[in-house]
Chain A
Amino acid sequence: DQQVKQNSPSLSVQEGRISILNCDYTNSMFDYFLWYKKYPAEGPTFLISISSIKDKNEDGRFTVFLNKSAKHLSLHIVPSQPGDSAVYFCAATNINAGGTSYGKLTFGQGTILTVHP
C-alpha cells in the first residue's frame, strides 16, 4: 500500500523554465510534508517542507503548494537550472503523533528531473 505517490517517473525541462513536480498521498493523518533532492551515490538533501496548516511555502527558487482536500502537493522550481537535475522525493509524516510516527518519513518513489541547457 503506497501511501505517498509520485506518478511521474521523469520530467524534462528547459533551463530557465518552471519545473513542477507532483505528489499525492492517501493517508489523511499526514500533516507535514517534505521534499528532498538526491544525486547518485549521495544521501537525500532536504529542500523544503510544509505543514498542513499552510497551503504554500517558499524558499528562494523553491515553492511547495499543498492542497489538503485533494491530498496533493507540488514543488515548483523557478527558474530551473542544469544543477537541479536530480531525483526528487516527496515525503510525509504525522508530527502530532507519537508511537508509529517517531522518526518515520514515508517517501514517494521519486521523480527524475532533467534540466537541459
Chain B
Amino acid sequence: KAGVTQTPRYLIKTRGQQVTLSCSPISGHRSVSWYQQTPGQGLQFLFEYFSETQRNKGNFPGRFSGRQFSNSRSEMNVSTLELGDSALYLCASSPRGSGGAYEQYFGPGTRLTVT
C-alpha cells in the first residue's frame, strides 16, 4: 500500500496570508490526525477527523482549521499567518476508528515558512 502523502512538501508564505495543506491517508484508513512540529514545542496535536467529522481538537487558535472529504483525504487551513506558524506540519492516518490513537502512520510533512 502507498503511504501517507502530503502536498506540498515545502511552502513559503508571507505574514497575513492563508495556506491550505493537503493529506492523502493510507488506503482504507478513515482517521486522519494533524500535528505541528516546532523546535520549541515539539510535536503538538492539532485535530483529528474521522468520516468527515472533526472529533478532537488540540489547543490551537481558531485560525487553524481543517476538513475531511468522503474519500478520507484531508486538508488543513491556516488563515492570517503569523511568523510563529513556521513549522513542519505532519499528517497521520490510522486504521482504527474508536478510542484513542493506536498506531498512526505519518506522512513526510509540509515545511511551512512564514516571512
Contacts and interface: CB of A to CB of B under 8 A. Distances in A.
Contacts, number: 96
A117 to B, nearest CB: 27
A99 B102 contact: no
A43 B55 contact: no
B56 interface: yes
B55 A49 contact: no
A102 B103 contact: no
Contacts of A98: 55, 98-99
A31 B32 CA distance: 21
Interface in B70-115: 90, 92, 94, 98-109, 111
A103 B106 contact: no
Nearest to B53: A102
A102 B4 CA distance: 19
Contacts of B106: 36, 43-46
Contacts of B48: 102-104
A113 to B, nearest CB: 17
A102 B100 contact: yes
B58 interface: yes
B102 A32 contact: yes
A79 B10 CA distance: 36
Interface of A: 31-32, 34, 36, 41-46, 49, 89, 91, 93-110
